[in-house]
Amino acid sequence: MAITIACIGSGNMGQALMRGAAKALDGKNIGFCDSDKAKARAAAKDLGAAFYAANTEAAQKSDFVFLAVKPAVLPSVLAEIAPVLRERLAQGKPAVLVSMAAGWTIGRILAIVGGSKTDVPIERAPVASVPVARIMPNTPALVSQGVIALACSLNFPPQKIIELEKILGAAGLVDRIDEQYMDAVTGLSGSGPAFVYLFIEALADGGVMAGLPREKALRYAAQTVIGAATMVKETGRHPGELKDMVTSPGGTTIAGVSALEAGAFRGTVMKAVEAAFRRARDLV
C-alpha cells in the first residue's frame, strides 16, 4: 500500500521537503493544506500533488502529517486536528505527526493532541498515543543539501522511522538524535546557513575591496566555502589541521587569520549559535 503524506503549511521548507519526498514517492500521494488556499493550490499544482481544503481532511487521509507551520501557529493547528488524530488512534490506524516547529517538544505536542493541560514527558508518553517525530531541517534542503535532525517519540513504530527517513533523505542528510539536543541543532544547522551567507557576502566584499569584479568575487567566495566544507567532510580531518595546511609561516593566510582573531571571529560565531539556541528555548 502506498505511503500518503499531507503537508500542513506550504512555505519554502514544506515545499522543499515535499519535493524531496516526491523523488521517493509518487507526487499523487502527497497533499498540501494551508490557510492561504491559493498558495497551497499552487504548491500542489507544481508537484502534481493533492490539495486539501481543511487541516482535518489532511489529517484524516494521510499516513504522515507534516506540520510545516510557524511555532506560534502550531497550537491552533494541533487543537484543530487532535479529534481526528484521536479517532484514528482508537481505530488502530494512527497518523504520524512530523513537526518542524522550533522550540516545540514532542511532550508538548502530545499534550495538546491528547487533550492534556500539562506537557507529557517523552519517557512517560503512553504506548497508545499518536506517534510524533520532531525534525529540524535547514534551507539547503531546497537544493537537496540540507541537514535534517530527527527525534521520535518512544512509541514510534520502527517501520515508520524507516519510511520517514526515506521521505526526508532526498532533501539531504538525515541524522537521528536525542530530542534534548534539538534546540542546539536549531542554533547550529537550523540558523547556521544565515551565518554562512553573511560570511560568503563578507568574503566577496573583501574581494571587491581588493579589486575583483563583484560577480567574480561572489562566485569565488561561494565556491571557496563549498570546497572548504567538502574538505572537512570528505577528509575527516579537524578543521584546525586543514587550516594549518594553508597557513605558511609569514604568508598571506596567517595575516588574514590574525585579522579574524583580532576581530574575535571564532568567539563571535560561537555566540551567534548560542544566541540562536537560547532563542529556540524561548519560543514556546
Q: How far is CA 179 from CA 77, 95, 123, 159, in A?
A: 22, 21, 11, 20
pLDDT at 125: 47
Alpha-carbon distance 204 to 220, whole Å?
8
DSSP 57: H
Beta bridge partners of residue 152, listed in sequence order: 133
In the chain, the largest separation of any two C-alpha atoms, in whole Å, equals: 72
pLDDT at 60: 95
Q: Please report the domains of the chain, with CATH numbers, ordered by start residue.
A: 5-183 (3.40.50.720), 192-282 (1.10.3730.10)
Per-residue pLDDT of the chain (284 residues; tens, 9 = 90+): 588 999 999 999 999 999 989 888 877 899 999 999 999 999 999 999 999 999 999 999 999 999 999 999 999 999 999 999 999 999 999 999 999 999 899 999 998 998 655 555 544 544 458 999 999 999 999 999 999 999 999 889 999 999 999 999 999 999 999 999 999 999 999 999 999 999 999 999 999 999 999 999 999 999 999 999 999 999 999 999 999 999 999 999 999 999 999 999 999 999 999 999 999 988 77
What would the grid cell of residue 143 be? 537544493
Alpha-carbon distance 64 to 40, whole Å?
17
195 sits in which H/E element: helix 192-209
